Amino acid sequence: MRSPLLPRAVLAVPRLSQRCHRPSPSPWICGTCRVSGHRFSSQSTPEKPYYITTPIFYVNAAPHVGHLYTMVLTDVLKRWQQVKGTRALLCTGTDEHGLKVQRASAKAGIEPKLFCNKGAAIFRELAQKADISYDHFVRTTDQEHKDAVEYAWFLLKEKGYVYPEKHEGWYSVADEAFYPKSAVKLYLDPPTGRKMMTSIETGSEVEWSSETNYHFRLSAFREPLLEFYKANPEWIVPAHRMKEVVQAVESGLEDLSISRPSDRLTWGIRVPEDESQTIYVWLDALMNYVTKAGYPWTPGHEHAGGWPADCQVIGKDIVRFHCIYWPAFLMALGLPLPKKILTHGHWTLGGSKMSKSTGRVVDPFHALDRFGPDVMRFYLAHDGGLQHDSSYDNVRIIAMYNHFLSASLGNLASRVTRGKKWSVRGAIERIGKLPADEWEEGPGSRFYNNTLSVVPSNVATSLNSYDPRKALYQIAEFVRASNQFFQMSSPWGKILDFGPGEPGEEVDRIVYLAAEGLRMTGILLQPYMPGKAKTLLDQLGVEESRRTFAFCAVGQDLEYGVSKVELGALHKGVLFPPLPSEE
């Protein structure tokens, strides 16, 4: 796929002069003035790391399991890059400005900043509890973010993309967005009988608003966006959402209102040099992705923080903002666009979408406490939908734990590593150096050639194609195949009695292949279940330096086989012991 570079039509934008134009006494200075740089050294040009982001989450209500799913998907893809040996950065955080937050804090009787502090702490706690390996936690109330937003506004205005005008339309506080007449409908609320106008797209209530504010010339980017989509047809995953975005832009773009009167919206970043206006929350929020990548950049360090993002993970309900508005803003600023947008479906509960506003949610903290982070991560990645929505079900989690994680993966690990009449280390020493042609036929040859030799590359292809669910299905099938091979080979019935410590070549071959299946499973599961994968690799005695994808091939590591942890009796040291509720 072609690199998502800016269309030629967008490159012809006015150039920023060598000095800062902003006369305000604010400590803010433009990027060209920030030559000394407080974020990066100017001595060398660092290599661009892999950079992946979650959307930033509204702090107006507590998180639900849908937020956790987004975090998990993003973390799986980040950790996969690390398994491949790539330096990777993950950015997450909270969206703390806008009318929703302003009203929520007022209702709670708390000052907005204190309200946001509490909300941000909850989302940070969720990320930590779920073992999300984030590198940046951005808050839109951070000073560095405010600086970046003000700088971006200055550039947009300098280049003629911002102008003031009276705006009328239907406004949704829940969505923080204006909708044209064609995008709203009359709705009768069954419980109350109240008539109200709602957004056709989201179902949120809208109210008529008439005000003077600033507009962004979004209409000027219809052709550049279409040119970009045409050059990068796989930019949005899944493909059907790419098609929907293209159709939306083809139908025409209206200029976008990007400020609100500050007498109505007090909680936000004020428009530079116009205190009567507050910057639109979505323009403010979208800039977070470049804020933590170091924007505005010092010369020579544009990519040191990771921009352009290699992947941005979002829910399907915010596609318009990220796939139309966001690239248009970036084009206007002369910045490269993200390389991939991965969109996913929602989680439903009892057939309805989870929503903080309706209270139909699954408490992710309770779920993590009950099942643990690794099990929840596995379940969400396995059952979560990219193409379609998914239904959350605790019964399904328990069944998956008992029938697959415990009975298949955990059972295989116990049988192989705790065998009384064979040694994993001995099998590796005696069998591991056999040449590949020794496996063309005979015991274990089919498992060697049809499973061990092909699964890792298949999983890598799926993950590199931004399909972590498919990759996890492939890993699960790999575990089942390994378990089936070991069970059908029944090494316990083929042990030679006259060879103490050496059960025979056939047993050694079976144990070696099963151990290789477990070792490679452990490596491939690291992005999904970092804790349990570490335990499994520790049980096998795999060195820390040999847990990368480079070693995920048959015979690539012959140094393991002596457990680094105690393999005790009963449940002690067992990979997946019985769930507490079932003991």
pLDDT score for 354: 67
* Model pLDDT for residues 324-340, shown as the tens digit of each residue: 999 999 999 999 999 99
Strands (E), 357-412: 390-391
How many CB atoms are located within 10 Å of the residue 125 CB?
Answer: 12
Q: What's the CATH class of domain 48-160+222-249+282-371?
A: alpha beta
Give me the sheet containing 162-172, strands edge to edge: 177-179, 162-172, 207-216, 256-257
DSSP, res 221: G
pLDDT at 147 over 80: yes
Give the SS3 label for residue 566.
coil
pLDDT at 469 over 60: yes
**Which of 177-186, 296-305, 417-426, 444-453 shows the lowest mean pLDDT across its residues?**
177-186
- How many percent of the chain have pLDDT more than 70? 89
Question: Confidence band (pLDDT; 50, 70, 90) for 171?
Answer: confident
pLDDT score for 488: 96
What is the rounded distance in angstroms from the CA atom of residue 370 to the CA atom of residue 30?
Answer: 49
What is the rounded distance in angstroms from the CA atom of residue 307 to the CA atom of residue 293?
Answer: 6
How many CB atoms are located within 10 Å of the residue 49 CB?
Answer: 18
CB of 205 closer than 8 Å to CB of 174: yes
- As a whole number, mean pLDDT of residues 421-427 equals 94
More confident position, 33 or 495 = 495
- 363 backbone φψ class: left, alpha, beta (φ>0; ψ -120 to 50): beta
pLDDT at 202 over 80: no
pLDDT at 199 over 80: yes
* Model pLDDT for residues 254-273, shown as the tens digit of each residue: 999 999 999 989 999 999 99
* Model pLDDT for residues 67-112, shown as the tens digit of each residue: 999 999 999 999 999 999 999 999 999 999 998 899 999 999 999 9
What is the rounded distance in angstroms from the CA atom of residue 516 to the CA atom of residue 432?
Answer: 10
Strands (E), 144-299: 162-172, 177-179, 184-188, 195-199, 207-216, 236-237, 256-257, 259-261, 270-271, 274-279
160 Cβ contact list (under 8 Å, min separation 6): 14, 217
pLDDT score for 571: 52
| Average pLDDT of the residues of the chain | 89
What end-to-end distance do the CA atoms of the chain give, in Å?
A: 52
Fold for domain 393-582? Isoleucyl-tRNA Synthetase; Domain 1 (1.10.730)
Question: Hey, where are the domains in the chain?
Answer: 48-160+222-249+282-371, 393-582
pLDDT score for 442: 84
Fold match, 48-160+222-249+282-371 / 393-582: no
pLDDT score for 196: 87
- How many percent of the chain have pLDDT more than 90? 74
Adjacent-strand bridge partners of 260: 278
Question: Confidence band (pLDDT; 50, 70, 90) for 192?
Answer: confident
Give the SS3 label for residue 343.
strand
* DSSP letter for each residue of 306-330: -PSPSEEEEEGGGHHIIIIIHHHHH
Give the SS3 label for residue 332.
helix
What is the rounded distance in angstroms from the CA atom of residue 125 to the CA atom of residue 364?
Answer: 11
- As a whole number, mean pLDDT of residues 465-482 equals 98
- As a whole number, mean pLDDT of residues 176-203 equals 81
When computed from its CA atoms, the radius of gyration of the chain, rounded to whole angstroms, is 27
How many CB atoms are located within 10 Å of the residue 350 CB?
Answer: 9
How many CB atoms are located within 10 Å of the residue 20 CB?
Answer: 17
User: Dihedral, CA atoms, 346, 351, 355, 357, nearest 10 degrees?
Assistant: 160
Closest CA to 256 of 329, 331, 308: 329
- As a whole number, mean pLDDT of residues 377-384 equals 98
Taking CA 334 as the corner, what is the angle to CA 333 and CA 338, rounded to the nearest 5 degrees? 95
pLDDT score for 41: 42
Please confirm whether the linkage preceding 238 is cis (ω < 30° from 0): yes
Question: Confidence band (pLDDT; 50, 70, 90) for 569?
Answer: low
* Model pLDDT for residues 23-47, shown as the tens digit of each residue: 333 444 544 344 333 444 445 667 9
